[in-house]
Amino acid sequence: MDELIPRTQTLIMLIFEHSKSGRRAQAQAPMADDGLSGIPDDLKRKRKPRLPEVSEMQAVRHYTRLSQKNFSIDTQFYPLGSCTMKYNPRACNTLAMLPGLINRHPLAPDSHSQGFLSTMYELQEILKEVTGMSAVSLAPMAGAQGEFAGIAMIRAYHDALGDTGRTEILVPDAAHGTNPATAVMCGYKAREIPSKADGDVDMDALEAALGPQTAGIMLTNPSTLGVFERRIKEIAGRVHEAGGLLYYDGANLNAILGRVRPGDMGFDVIHMNLHKTFSTPHGGGGPGAGPVGVSKRLQPFLPIPMVGTDGHDYHWLSEEQCPQSIGRLSAFAGNAGILLRAYVYAKMLGAEGMQRVADYSTLNANYMLKRLMDAGFTAAYPQRRATHEFIITLKNEARELGINAMDFAKRLLDYGIHAPTTYFPLLVPECFLIEPTETEAKESLDAFIDAMIKIREEARTDAKRVRGAPYTLPVRRLDDVRAARELDLRWQAEEEEERA
Amino acid sequence: MSNIPENLKYAESHEWVHDEGDGTVTVGISDHAQELLGDLVFVELPETGAKLKAGDESAVVESVKAASDVYSPVDGEVIETNELLADSPEAINEAPYDNWIFKLKLSNPVQLDELLDAAAYASLVKAEEH
């Protein structure tokens, strides 16, 4: 088959490889003076930077072709567990890019920014309502920064009470993967708490770990096992009795949006990934938005700036009004563009729409789980109902057919489906963590399940074919080991290499 | 079924321990552990001289799938680390019981009795597989 397709062009991945010395794109609209005339000579570079020299049409074709190679939510089902790769309404982009919003200078005075400030204030209020927290700061610019802000506030709280003996943060093994790193970044020791066979936190182990050294616990509920922690109120009670605080990782907020509130479960601080749950095209590494919400006792420590109001006008709240704040996390006020998209999304959904997000994301996940189980695949927690995501283990297929989770993942690409999260969480061998989101039609869900059944068929008759996948993408099976061990992402011009 | 040598002791977190009989032990990860991790790409070794308590994070093994902590099975001081692993982490995949990670001088030798023997570790692995 392969030989029948003429190789008329080799795959060129880098614009530099199209470059020919002296080639120019001349047909450019005249540009205004760049206004950079005041730069002192000694600060100016002497040699021109090495940029690719291509015609305009080459540039257009190159980037159009690259965009066609995208395997993205705009083209394919993307059930990447714990990532909430939902479709993001175009209206969020359109409205967030209104000229009055994008042309506002970040240093514009409050009086010239009332429109923007009022939307940010309203977004704080919406997020308070939906999470059940007392106050919200929109400042953190990503999930990881939200986590950092959350634990930094827990630390600031204990410090303010002079309670400096609290050195440990408890992290259940079913928590989000970044949590232990956050605890360590904030100067704590992370202590792991095991979960039981049914996916809930092991209460005896928790009990044994709690003490005067406990600063807090980091949980996500539902957990990364795709199940709802049923004893959360008991956990909250025990941690509070021990003098610790509870941090909620918002990674899985989609499952409970408008239905259950972290504040009501007893959490003291939560970060939200607005870029997941509240509509931003993500998966390319950013930008993100990780606002934090807190209970009353942590309110003084929220990161700044926030937006306040006197009932008529809106204004920034900064060091002066928030002297105990953990401080600023960025030069301005978080990722304004992402916050605006989240605002539009929340306003379009309304309270009722948010409940439907939770309802349909869990319905879709449970539908897929049921059909996969009916087809003979193994659920990691068969006795539990799925939340917005669920785990299957392909250990039987790996043992009996010699086809592991990675082989299934790669072959799914040939079926036009992005692989789910593989080999995470680590607790489950050969696992897929599958999150369909509420935005997929039943046909997409069925197509995934049918593909899984077909791949298993292929594995029975022609295992080699599955192990060699993918066949239909710009690149075939990649050498993961070499990529990890000999990481080399920098393109170097040949001359430069010679000189080096 | 993975290989579980009779002459070693095991921790529930999948480390093996070889009693050298002179108050020191050699520690590595089990065949089952390397199999679960898949191709190793990086091993972070402990510092020589580090004083470890049983259950402390002592090393990190990173594979294409995940990074995992290696826990010290017993209390002791690190007296030697296997420098070979810095360049050849895959040695653990190839021969997990030959390619040890670190050696400890025991500070509490009775702890060795608390570790699992081969039969007990085999049933733990079996329980995990089902």
The domain containing residue B43 runs over which residues?
9-110
- Is the minimum CB–CB distance between A485 and chain B shorter than 8 Å? yes
Q: Is the pLDDT of residue B50 over 80?
A: yes
Please give the pLDDT value at position A499: 45
Confirm whether pTM is higher than 0.90: no
CATH number at residue B104: 2.40.50.100
Quote the CATH superfamily of domain A357-485: Aspartate Aminotransferase, domain 1 (3.90.1150.10)
Those residues with Cβ within 8 angstroms of residue B75's Cβ, 6 or more apart along the chain or in another chain: B52, B53, B54, B106, B107, B108, B111
B129/A424 touch (CB, cutoff 8 Å), yes or no: no
A residues 47-86 lying closer than 8 A (beta carbon) to B: none
Q: Which two tokens stand for residue A237?
A: 């009670």
Angle at A284 between CA A278 and CA A290, to 5 degrees: 40
Measured CA to CA, the distance from residue A401 to residue A496 in angstroms comes to 49
Give A-chain residues touching B65 at CB under 8 angstroms: 422-423, 426
Please give the pLDDT value at position A495: 59
Q: Where do you find CATH 3.40.640.10 in chain A?
A: 91-349
CA distance A484 to chain B (A): 6
Q: Is the pLDDT of residue A240 over 80?
A: yes
Residue B15 lies in a domain: yes
Give B-chain residues touching A395 at CB under 8 angstroms: 129
Q: Where do you find CATH 3.90.1150.10 in chain A?
A: 357-485
Between B62, B65, B129, which is nearest A423 by CB?
B65
Give A-chain residues touching B128 at CB under 8 angstroms: 429
Residue of B nearest to A423 (CA): B65
Q: Is the pLDDT higher at A31 or at A352? A: A352
pLDDT digits (tens, 9 = 90+) for A157-182: 999 999 999 999 999 988 887 899 99
Please give the pLDDT value at position A109: 94
B42/A423 touch (CB, cutoff 8 Å), yes or no: no
Q: Is the pLDDT of residue A9 over 60?
A: no
Between A423, A426, A485, which is nearest B41 by CB?
A485
Return phi, psi of residue B102, to 5°: -150, 165
Question: A22-36, A140-154, B105-119 — which is least confidently predicted?
Answer: A22-36
Please give the pLDDT value at position A50: 85
Residue B106 lies in a domain: yes
CA distance B64 to chain A (A): 6
Measured CA to CA, the distance from residue B104 to residue B54 in angstroms comes to 11
Q: How many domains does chain B have?
A: 1
The answer to whether domain A91-349 has CATH 3.40.640.10 is yes
B66/A424 touch (CB, cutoff 8 Å), yes or no: yes
